[in-house]
Amino acid sequence: MSKQTNPAEAFIRKRFETFKNLSTEMGDKKAMETMFAGYTDQVKQRMAPYIGRPTLAEGLREAVAEFNKSGWDMDVVDISNKGMDAALEIQKVCPVNDIHKEFGFECPCFLICAPDGPAIKEAFPELKVTTLCRQADGDCVCMFKFERLKK
């Protein structure tokens, strides 16, 4: 396995390692349930300060600044329009790289980004979160749209 180079990569590697071990012990479905038990509460606690900002773009920019310190490369674009407070979160460089392949998985999204959408929707029912594109599908970026009614 390759040597980790930043905190984002360390986080990702640990998540895949944990999932691989759990799935070997109890199967994929139970491993996912075990790994993400209580995840909605964790997401709510982590994101509440950002989601509570006057606009989604403002809050997401703050969150992205923290992620970027850990090795992510993200931008936020305010797309508010037609009574909606909305923003795009754009992941230009995915720090997963090929870590998922080291653990025998074809795609990283099921374990890294995919759990976030449902957890965010459950934690913040006023938000609509949509994955617009993914680098794992051959797109040049990963892009997520966040929207809610303007305050």
Residue 3 is predicted with a pLDDT of 55
- What's the token pair of residue 52? 């509570």
The structural domains of the chain, with segments of one domain joined by +, span 7-149
Range with the poorest average pLDDT among 19-23, 71-75, 116-120: 71-75
pLDDT for the residue 1: 45
Q: In the predicted model, is pLDDT for residue 4 greater than 70?
A: no
74 contacts 68 by C-beta, under 8 angstroms:
yes
Give CA torsion, residues 55, 58, 60, 64, to 10 deg.
180
pLDDT value of residue 149: 97
- Whether the pLDDT of residue 105 is over 70: the answer is yes
CA dihedral for 28, 30, 31, 35, sign (positive or negative): positive
Where does 7-149 sit in CATH, by number? 3.30.1380
Span 82-103, pLDDT tens digits: 999 999 999 998 878 788 999 9
What integer is the mean pLDDT of 93-116?
88
